[in-house]
Amino acid sequence: MTLKGNCLTTAMGIMPHTDPERAIDLALTLDIPFWPQLPRYSFYEDMYVQVSEHFPGIRIDEEKQRIQLNLAAFYDELPEYAERSSDKSLFTLSPMYSATLRAFLTRDLSIYPAVRGQCIGPLSFGLKITTEDLKPIIYNDEVRMFLFDFIARKVNAQVEQLRAVHPAVFVWVDEPGLEILFSSFTGYPSDRAKVDFAEFLAQVKGLKGVHLCGNPDWSFLLEGLDLDILSVDIFSNGYIFTRYTREIKKFLEAGGILCWGIVPTLTEELSAEDVLSLTARLEGFWMDLAGRSIPLELILDRAWLAPARCCLVNADGHETVERAFTVLREISGILREKYGLN
């Protein structure tokens, strides 16, 4: 699968909708659609809960909206998991854990250049999910090795499901916890994390992509990983991200796609902007990079566009997010026409 940029549109998987069909309809308005994750519809749609299906020792408390690892149960359930681990259905999402995946697969996806899935990444899962003593499971060497392998299998199961209905597919991983690695509060150093994450990516079938809304040390993702796609909240972090000129240029020249998250999804932020102001903001970042030896033609050839981040907190429910998708499509149209992009 050869990726082209040309300001194609996609978005994060998490959406504020409670109507699965409406959420799928909205996802299908973009160039690279995806099956939505709907945590307001069900707690099992939460991205941390969603990936945990069949993870030994995981305990989900729907009433308290909590997920935790029982370490003793993990070791007790591991032998049964090992016996079943050759069964690929163990790693596919059941209807209880996704209200949209199977419905998405039944839609006519043939008109799209590619389709996408998503999954929480192992770094974020391991840093957030704790054992009963509230220690993140990523600090346990045995559990960490297991979770990286487990999530890679989950990603690959999605890839196979998507490939059954479309020839050009990929699954990116969400890593919102990545910036924690570069704080003084973690005992899991970034150099160890990079080795583990590189080994994880090596297990993932097809194209490898990462999305995050935070602001880590961007060289972690731009260099030294077999990464094809990087999705960034440019609206919030563009001034910092674009300082990594050398790393960005190297990433683009190697064929990487940058997904520029330019449209805010928070009501107050989107209300303060319009299509022209956001287009100008994005082009400002591009011209700044072009002035520092990254050809604009290369940037455009490797550029996708997206909302800046997902948003579940707006008082108007799904309305702002749907408006953000409309603004995104309009920005893409303006840029494609201006620069003669196919």
pLDDT digits (tens, 9 = 90+) for 46-58: 999 999 999 999 9
The pLDDT of residue 294 is 98
Segment 105-126 mean pLDDT: 96
The pLDDT of residue 186 is 67
Nearest to 37 by CA among 107, 115, 119, 150: 119
Residue 39 lies in a domain: yes
pLDDT at 184 over 70: no
pLDDT at 140 over 80: yes
Rg (CA), the chain: 20
How far apart CA 88 and CA 83 sit, in angstroms, is 12
In what helix (H) or strand (E) does residue 170 lie, and over which residues does it extend?
Answer: strand 169-174
The pLDDT of residue 1 is 66
- Whether the CA torsion 328, 123, 148, 238 is positive or negative: it is positive
Residue 101 lies in a domain: yes
pLDDT at 182 over 80: no
Nearest to 275 by CA among 321, 326, 340: 326
In what helix (H) or strand (E) does residue 260 lie, and over which residues does it extend?
Answer: strand 257-263
Residue 1 lies in a domain: no
For 51-110, where are the E strands, in sequence order?
58-61, 66-69
Residue 169 lies in a domain: yes
The per-residue DSSP string of 224-283 comes to SS--SEEEEEHHHHHHHHTT-HHHHHHHHHTTPEEEEEEE--SHHHHHT--HHHHHHHHH
Segment 291-297 mean pLDDT: 97
The pLDDT of residue 185 is 65
Q: Supply the range of the domain harboring residue 252.
A: 8-339
Q: Tally the domains of the chain.
A: 1
Residue 299 lies in a domain: yes
pLDDT at 163 over 70: yes
Segment 8-31 mean pLDDT: 97
Confidence band, pLDDT 50/70/90 cuts, at residue 232: very high
- Output the six-digit token pair for 183: 């704080």
The pLDDT of residue 214 is 87
Residue 84 lies in a domain: yes
Segment 135-153 mean pLDDT: 96
Confidence band, pLDDT 50/70/90 cuts, at residue 181: confident
Which residue type occupies 97?
Y
Q: What is the CATH number of the domain that holds 14?
A: 3.20.20.210
Q: Taking the model in full, what pTM does it have?
A: 0.96
The pLDDT of residue 56 is 98
- Output the six-digit token pair for 252: 């683009």
The pLDDT of residue 311 is 92
Q: What burial class does residue 109 get, using C-beta atoms within 10 Å of its C-beta: 0-12 exposed, 13-18 middle, 19+ buried?
A: middle
Confidence band, pLDDT 50/70/90 cuts, at residue 179: confident
Residue 2 lies in a domain: no
Residue 153 lies in a domain: yes
